[in-house]
Chain A
Amino acid sequence: MEFVRISRNAWGQSELLGASWEPLWLFVAAGLAAIVVHALFVAVASRRANKTGRRDRTGGA
């Protein structure tokens, strides 16, 4: 994967053009991954909270 776009000018020198668009999907994937990670964290945390609540109501153990 290329991270920058480079071309050759009329004198054969390499020239930095800008960001490569190849990593674009990575940024979209990172956003979607953050959603999945957060949703999982919330699910685990609420399960843990429910368990603790049940234990408190039944007097421990």
Chain B
Amino acid sequence: MEAAADEGDAAPGRVIRHRLPERLFHWVMAASMLVLLATGFLPVIGIKFPWVTIHWIAGLVLTAAILFHVVRVSGWLGFRGMSVRLDDLRHAVRHATGRSLSGGHRSGKYELAQQLYHHTVAIIVLAAVATGIVMMAKVDTPLWQRDPYLLASYTWGIVYVVHGYAGMALITLLIVHVYFAFRPEKLWFTRSMIVGWITEREFRERFDPERWRPERRDA
């Protein structure tokens, strides 16, 4: 069924990098994250509006997207592409210290920087989501009445501190992510997150075919 749905994903000579479910996850996460950051921080900098309902609904959308992603990774994609390898770390150190001029080293599906970024975001988003879910106890929704006494006062304080700092850290990570998405030499990564594919040439130049064996459509 998925193969049929992805028929139009890759023209001949194109390598499939992100299937439709992964692209949808990425953009749903991006949209919900932007809404969460806007509703969370615009009131802090003085732009007041009724933000709470929009915030928790966007939080639920983000939570659902993450659950979907966890199921996709566990059942279909696997963890290999995101596993940090020692030789990638060694190469990164050599490159950063000027002992290697980038070329030569080929990565698996994700480069080391992408893996580290993913893991950092995962930890911080999970902290924000976990505390956000607990904070839902303080919000009246159509499904339940608020219960501000669910936790002791000090524990609530801790929950709010973690949620606040996770939100602020996500601003940093968002700035960095958008910067790299628009860097000229990284635009093809961004394109692949929109259309799903990279070219055969991009694949050969950057990736180790032993470590990433993608599906492709040959002529």
Contact = CB atoms under 8 A, between A and B. Distances in A.
A34 B179 CA distance: 9
Interface string B163-195: 111001101111110010000000000000000
B154 interface: yes
Contacts, number: 67
Nearest to B98: A48
A56 to B, nearest CB: 11
Interface in A6-26: 9, 15-19, 21, 23-24
A16 B44 CA distance: 18
A22 to B, nearest CB: 10
B175 A17 contact: no
Task: Please classify the interface of chain B as helix (H, G, I), strand (E, B), loop, or mixed, using the class held by over half of its residues.
Answer: helix
Interface size class of chain A, counting residues whose CB lies under 8 Å from the partner chain: 20 to 34
Given A28-B171, A35-B176, A45 B101 contact: yes
Nearest to B170: A27
A2 B156 CA distance: 19
A31 interface: yes
Contacts of A24: 41, 44-45, 168, 171
Contact of A49 (B44, B101, B161, B173): B101
B160 A19 contact: yes
Contacts of B169: 27
Given A17-B160, A52-B101, A31 B175 contact: yes
B208 to A, nearest CB: 22
Interface of A: 4, 9, 15-19, 21, 23-24, 27-28, 30-32, 34-35, 38, 41, 45, 48-49, 52
